[in-house]
């Protein structure tokens, strides 16, 4: 196996595993390595001697501006200050992937980062912005996990080879070049700033467009009852009202409803509409929809009115089991008000509102689910 330049495509699985170990050894010793990612090739070095060599190679980048590369999103969640549910969802939906996260940090937060990553003094000093990325390339993530040290990478796009591949000539100061052919995306990662207000902004658009990021962030909640004329359409309307005035750190959320035995096109109960009007909640013109497997597959979370509805959803799509639960966390059913006087509908609507507030808060505290991820 050549030590200066190695083509991954020529290696057996066992040789790849040995190359991961060798690359980690070179990096731990302060060496620099050109590694492939899904975007462009980068030169990698660990904090300490490797970072000093990176700074010499990329003098235009501020001392605190080099990008930390993590082996998985879980490590980023543990050490980077994420200030809102939206920040957590950004990380869950975009990493691993072609996104570089820019996180404004106080000096205290940077010091905590240095300690958490066991980085030497001189790294993450002062205040400013911390850059982090989780590349979507299996070999490179294996190296990042093996090296077990704070590692930085900078892109070599300016001297890339044909088709965006690795540099073809010798690069001064590089100890090893790992060649995996042209990168899958061939464009630099998109830089996304996580704002102190809890929101986000695209600073530099690259391989992932801003509109694609926006589409991935939308969280879909599916509410399920029997006929989709009372409880689930009320729940959907209440959910939309609850998130209508959410702040910049809130996750954009879409509510849809369906029934396990719905008559397609049936109108909503007038009593349900009256109950919502009494709560000053808008109720759009509604027609019943039957539950479908596609709707189940697209939902991030599925909340049903009874345990029997849970079984109906899981029977339709067993893969949805982890995302499906009764709206009441205790598992108690929400009684069907169909045919009852309007006060019964009002009590049902108020119960649904209180349970939705609780469920949404729990969802925001948890790591976002990966349903519907189309990376």
The reported pTM is 0.87
User: Alpha-carbon distance 99 to 211, whole Å?
Assistant: 13
Based on the residue annotation, tell me whether 219 is a catalytic residue of this protein.
Answer: no
User: Alpha-carbon distance 237 to 79, whole Å?
Assistant: 38
Name the one residue in this structure whose structure tokens are 């991820």.
373
CATH superfamily label, 5-215 = DHBP synthase (3.90.870.10)
Tell me if domain 5-215 and domain 218-365 are identical in fold.
no
Per-residue confidence in pLDDT tens, the chain, 375 aa: 344 889 999 999 999 999 999 999 999 999 999 999 999 999 999 988 888 888 888 777 665 568 899 999 999 999 999 999 999 999 999 999 999 999 999 888 888 888 898 888 777 766 688 899 999 999 999 999 999 889 988 887 555 566 666 766 666 788 999 999 999 998 999 999 999 999 999 999 999 999 999 999 999 999 999 999 999 999 999 999 999 988 889 999 999 999 999 999 999 999 999 999 999 998 878 999 999 999 999 999 999 999 999 999 999 999 999 999 999 999 999 999 998 999 999 999 999 999 999 999 999 887 554 434 443
Catalytic residue among 53, 133, 219, 231, which? 231
Based on the residue annotation, tell me whether 216 is a catalytic residue of this protein.
Answer: no
Q: What is the CATH code of the structural domain delimited by 218-365? A: 3.40.50.2300
Q: What is the pLDDT of residue 269?
A: 92
Based on the residue annotation, tell me whether 358 is a catalytic residue of this protein.
Answer: no
Checking DSSP bridges between strand 190-194 and strand 99-105, what pairing results, if any? parallel
List CB contacts of 19: < 8 A, sequence separation 6 or more: 1, 6, 8, 11, 139, 178
Report the side by side order of strands in the sheet with 219-225.
Answer: 253-259, 219-225, 301-304, 324-326
Q: What is the pLDDT of residue 54?
A: 83
Q: Domain boundaries in the chain?
A: 5-215, 218-365
Q: What is the pLDDT of residue 371?
A: 39
Name the one residue in this structure whose structure tokens are 């040290």.
149
Q: What is the pLDDT of residue 375?
A: 37
Catalytic residue among 114, 225, 346, 353, which? 225
Q: What is the pLDDT of residue 165?
A: 66
List CB contacts of 3: < 8 A, sequence separation 6 or more: 22, 176
Q: What is the pLDDT of residue 370?
A: 46
Catalytic residue among 22, 77, 184, 336, which? 336
């Amino acid at each position: 196996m050549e030590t200066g330049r190695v083509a991954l495509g020529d290696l057996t699985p066992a040789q790849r595993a040995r190359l991961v170990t060798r690359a980690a050894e070179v990096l731990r010793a302060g060496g620099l390595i050109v590694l492939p990612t899904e975007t462009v090739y980068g030169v990698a070095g660990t904090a300490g001697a490797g970072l000093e060599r990176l700074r010499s190679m990329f003098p235009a980048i501020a001392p605190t501006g080099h990008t930390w590369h993590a082996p998985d999103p879980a490590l980023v969640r543990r050490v980077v200050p994420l200030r809102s549910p939206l920040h957590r969802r950004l990380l869950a939906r975009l990493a691993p992937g072609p996104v570089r996260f820019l996180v404004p940090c106080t000096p205290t937060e940077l010091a905590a980062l240095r300690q958490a990553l066991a980085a030497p003094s001189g790294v993450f000093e002062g205040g400013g912005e911390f850059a982090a990325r989780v590349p979507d390339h299996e070999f490179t993530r294996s190296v990042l996990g093996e090296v077990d040290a704070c590692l930085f990478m900078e892109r070599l796009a300016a001297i890339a080879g044909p088709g965006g591949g690795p540099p073809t000539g010798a690069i001064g100061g590089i100890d090893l070049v790992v060649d995996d052919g042209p990168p899958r995306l061939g464009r630099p990662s998109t830089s996304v700033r996580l704002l102190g207000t809890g929101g986000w902004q695209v600073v530099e658009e690259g391989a992932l467009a801003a509109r694609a990021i926006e589409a991935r962030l939308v969280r879909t909640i599916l509410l399920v009852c029997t006929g989709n004329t009372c409880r689930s359409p009320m729940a959907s309307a209440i959910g939309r009202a609850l998130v209508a005035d959410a702040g910049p750190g809130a996750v954009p959320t879409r509510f849809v409803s369906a029934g396990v035995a719905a008559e397609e096109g049936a109108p909503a109960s007038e009593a349900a509409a009256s109950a919502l009007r009494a709560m000053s909640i808008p109720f759009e013109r509604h027609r019943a929809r039957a539950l479908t497997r596609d709707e189940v597959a697209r939902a991030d979370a599925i909340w049903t009115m009874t345990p029997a509805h849970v079984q109906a959803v899981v029977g339709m799509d067993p893969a949805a089991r982890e995302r499906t639960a009764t709206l009441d966390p205790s598992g108690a059913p929400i009684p069907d008000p169909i045919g009852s006087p309007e006060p019964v509908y009002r009590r049902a609507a108020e119960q649904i509102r209180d349970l939705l507030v609780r469920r949404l808060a729990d969802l925001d505290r948890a790591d976002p689910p990966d349903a519907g991820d189309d990376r």
